[in-house]
Amino acid sequence: MTSDDLIAGARAVDDDLPAVYRDLHQHPELSFQEERTAGVVAGRLRALGYETTTGVGRTGVVGVLRNGDGPTALLRADMDALPMQEKTELPYASTVRGVDHEGHTVDVFHACGHDVHVTCLLGAAAELADSRGTWTGTALVVFQPAEELGRGAQAMIDDGLFARFGRPDVVLGQHVAPFPAGFLALRPGPAFAAADSVKVRMFGQGGHGSRPETTVDPVVMAAATVMRLQTVVSREVAGTDTAVVTVGALRAGTKENIIPDEAELLISTRTFDPAVRDRVLGAITRIVRAEAAASGASRDPEVMLVDGFPAVVNDVAACVRTRPGLEAVVGADRVVDPGLVTGSEDVGLLASGSDAPCVFWLLGGADPAAFAAVRSVDDMAEAVAEQPSNHSPFYAPVIEPTLAVGVAALVEAARIWLPRSS
């Protein structure tokens, strides 16, 4: 069987998947609000014969297809969309608005492509059910809420995911990305960055803008802190290691002639190595405290870890075992190494929480026509950089062949772990 046959096969089995995708895309839901999506998922899983449970980790859905003795393969998709406006002008673009967890009315858009993940996993669930005469074991399909908050996987684990539905022998999943549809990307070992969000409050002593000598100015304190934080990566992280420290928000004051009482910083970090992560977070705390002391603050600053994603570490042996399945779908030369990805994902928690190996790959979703001038995989990076990326208001994966490849990749990867029945 050639890769074209596999892709054609995937398309033939699930003719209605593009319609499912467009429907999900037009009805995006924010993190932990994925109720309509969960309903669509549960309805289809039940029709396929999966034992289906909703409300796992608030809005998550679990489907179990027991098919005789044998290992369990967990296949995971995330379901949530982002609070931002879609500007793609696609005929099926989202016009939905929602209310975020702080009560603000916001536009809602599947800017990260989680609607692709849901659709592909529904297609794979159907193929595994249709072909149940050819494999043994258990397919455990997990539709996870709130990936964008980094809390959905943990919420499902805390709600008894593994105690209630069994421990998997492998965790498989994929994320759509802006390289050409028809390609897959897999990186064994550390693959996606750990991400931490840190909130800092620095306390000064306010007063009149004309009399700075009577105040402790938190604006200057915060500004000095922002500049000093730039030395964390350049002076404390080895040249052979990788880290990012970004101050994404600096808030203080209301008026030009009032020195405010306090300032707030919101900081995002990305690291791949737990030791580097500890060093970076330690340096942030140390610098914030020292700058407050240098300014003569009478009250210690607050440094709070708001939320964090651990790094996604793909199991090397499990990647070696799974890779031929991915190669069967697109061809060996179209399964590429994406390098370290500084984006973050909470799928790794499903693996570490069940002691199962993780194999998480990237699914090309960009229009192949945009890469017509690219002659080799090595030249692809430049063309990828020109594509709108995930979280862009213009992010628009092409429906085909993205869905067909995404379905086939999940099915072929799962079948490697679910032995052939004799």
What does the DSSP assignment read for 200-255? Answer: EEEE-B-EETT-GGGSB-HHHHHHHHHHHHHHIIIIIS-TTS-EEEEEEEEEE-SS
What does the DSSP assignment read for 41-103? Answer: HHHHHHHHT-EEEEEETTTEEEEEEEESSS-EEEEEEE---BSS------TT----EEE-TTS
| Count of residues in contact with Zn ion, rule CB under 5 A | 1
What is the nearest approach in angstroms of Zn ion to the Cβ of residue 114?
A: 6
Q: Does 112 bind Zn ion (CB under 5 A)?
A: yes
CA 325 to chain centre: 23
CB atoms within 10 A of CB 199: 15
Nearer to Zn ion, 128 or 410 (CB): 410
Question: Which residues contact residue 306 at a Cβ distance below 8 angstroms, ignoring those fewer than 6 apart?
Answer: 197, 198, 199
CA 335 to chain centre: 20
Nearer to Zn ion, 112 or 407 (CB): 112
Nearer to Zn ion, 9 or 308 (CB): 308
Region binding Zn ion by CB under 5 A among candidate stretches 99-107, 110-118, 134-142, 400-408: 110-118
Q: Does 350 bind Zn ion (CB under 5 A)?
A: no
CB atoms within 10 A of CB 184: 26
Instruction: Record the tokens describing residue 353, joined without a space.
Output: 């929480």
Nearer to Zn ion, 31 or 354 (CB): 31
Residues composing the chain: 422
What is the nearest approach in angstroms of Zn ion to the Cβ of residue 78?
A: 6
Short-list 63, 64, 93, CA closest to 81: 93
What is the nearest approach in angstroms of Zn ion to the Cβ of residue 113?
A: 7
What is the nearest approach in angstroms of Zn ion to the Cβ of residue 107?
A: 16
Give the separation between CA 350 and CA 353, rounded to whole angstroms: 5
Nearer to Zn ion, 78 or 262 (CB): 78
Q: Respond yes or no: is residue 107 known to be catalytic.
A: no
What is the nearest approach in angstroms of Zn ion to the Cβ of residue 211?
A: 47
Nearer to Zn ion, 112 or 247 (CB): 112
358-366/312-314 β-pairing: unpaired
Q: Does 126 bind Zn ion (CB under 5 A)?
A: no
What is the nearest approach in angstroms of Zn ion to the Cβ of residue 147?
A: 6
What is the nearest approach in angstroms of Zn ion to the Cβ of residue 313?
A: 18
Q: Respond yes or no: is residue 80 known to be catalytic.
A: yes
Choose the catalytic residue: 14, 78, 127, 147: 147
Question: Which residues contact residue 327 at a Cβ distance below 8 angstroms, ignoring those fewer than 6 apart?
Answer: 335
Choose the catalytic residue: 29, 78, 80, 196: 80
Nearer to Zn ion, 79 or 112 (CB): 112
Question: Which residues contact residue 416 at a Cβ distance below 8 angstroms, ignoring those fewer than 6 apart?
Answer: 321, 322, 324, 325
Region binding Zn ion by CB under 5 A among candidate stretches 29-37, 111-119, 355-363, 379-387: 111-119
Residue nearest to Zn ion according to CB distances in the complex: 112
- How are strands ordered across the β-sheet holding 262-271? 243-252, 262-271, 194-203, 302-309
What is the nearest approach in angstroms of Zn ion to the Cβ of residue 344?
A: 8
Region binding Zn ion by CB under 5 A among candidate stretches 56-64, 107-115, 333-341, 366-374: 107-115
Give the separation between CA 65 and CA 151, rounded to whole angstroms: 26
Residue 256 CB burial class (10 angstroms; 0-12, 13-18, ≥19): exposed
Instruction: Record the tokens describing residue 384, joined without a space.
Output: 């990828």
Nearer to Zn ion, 118 or 411 (CB): 118
Give the separation between CA 351 and CA 355, rounded to whole angstroms: 6
Q: Residues in the site for Zn ion, rule: CB under 5 A? A: 112
Write out the catalytic residue numbers: 80, 147
